[in-house]
């Protein structure tokens, strides 16, 4: 059972709901932005457009696990999974609709189909990588919190992000871009993505630390996952 310092608060708070919604929006938006690659300055390196938003989901994952515990974090992760799957299916259905009548609309429809035709593949790859990567992030964060008795939030946040992002990128990019990009380019983008996202975590860490402290104080809760099953399919609190 998770050990919690709480003031009798029951159910899901408004703050928790906002964090969950933001997490899900970041995930869905990231899946849409993945196909848009861009060059890093004049370097022979490319990044996905998702790098601008997706790291936010890992920061929120850290906050959810730190404050509410592993189970609540996995609940939000599965919510994001379900919503992303819905958007992917909807995009595919819209892409299959008949072409419009007028030429100017046909150009827009063609561009739409080209973009969103990639969404199902990238979303399948993203969902698998996301669930495993986010689970790894939450698992490391939770285990380290118990082991350190809640100390060293900064190091725990960074190390859990490295573990989660590495797992995510190693799974996602080969599945999403194999056959579309050279293997060398895929390996390069994996390394670059993990590095950039980790630096993102480091840069935003002071703010994340302050938010975590204020959340614990305002929510009246600080969860330690003692004797909790880390089965990712179990989200209900024990």
Residue 53 has pLDDT above 70, yes or no: yes
Q: What's the pLDDT band for 103 if we cut at 50, 70, 90?
A: confident
Q: What is the pTM of this model?
A: 0.83
Residue 20 near residue 79, CB atoms below 8 Å:
yes
pLDDT in tens, 183-208: 888 888 888 878 888 888 889 999 99
May I ask the CATH architecture of the domain 3-224? Orthogonal Bundle (1.10)
For position 181, what pLDDT does the model report? Answer: 82
**SS3 of 39, please?**
strand
Query: pLDDT tens across 155-175, in order?
Result: 999 999 899 989 988 998 888
Closest Cα partner for 185 from 31, 40, 33? 40
Contact 67, 218 (CB under 8 A): no
User: What would the mean pLDDT of 118-138 be, rounded to a whole number?
Assistant: 81
The answer to which of 43-57, 78-92, 108-122, 205-219 has the lowest mean pLDDT is 108-122
């Amino acid at each position: 059972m998770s050990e919690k310092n709480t003031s009798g608060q029951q159910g899901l708070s408004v703050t928790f709901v906002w964090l969950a919604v933001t997490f899900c929006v970041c995930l869905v938006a990231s899946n849409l932005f993945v196909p848009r690659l861009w060059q890093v300055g004049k370097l022979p390196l490319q990044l996905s457009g998702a790098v601008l938003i997706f790291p936010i989901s890992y920061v929120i994952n850290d906050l959810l696990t730190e404050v509410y515990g592993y189970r609540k974090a996995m609940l939000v992760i599965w919510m994001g999974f379900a919503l992303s799957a819905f958007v992917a299916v909807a995009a595919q259905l819209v892409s299959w609709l008949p072409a419009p009548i007028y030429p100017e609309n046909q150009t827009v429809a063609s561009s739409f189909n080209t973009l969103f035709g990639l969404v199902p593949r990238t979303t399948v790859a993203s969902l698998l990588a996301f669930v495993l990567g986010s689970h790894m992030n939450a698992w490391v964060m939770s285990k380290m919190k118990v082991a350190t008795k809640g100390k060293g939030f900064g190091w725990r946040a960074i190390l859990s992000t490295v573990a989660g992002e590495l797992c995510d990128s190693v799974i996602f990019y080969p599945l999403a871009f194999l056959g579309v990009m050279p293997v060398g380019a895929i390996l390069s983008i994996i390394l670059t993505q993990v590095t950039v996202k980790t630096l993102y975590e480091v840069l935003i860490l002071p703010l994340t630390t302050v938010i975590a402290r204020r959340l614990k104080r305002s929510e009246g809760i600080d969860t330690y996952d003692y004797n909790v099953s880390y089965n990712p399919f179990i989200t209900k609190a024990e």
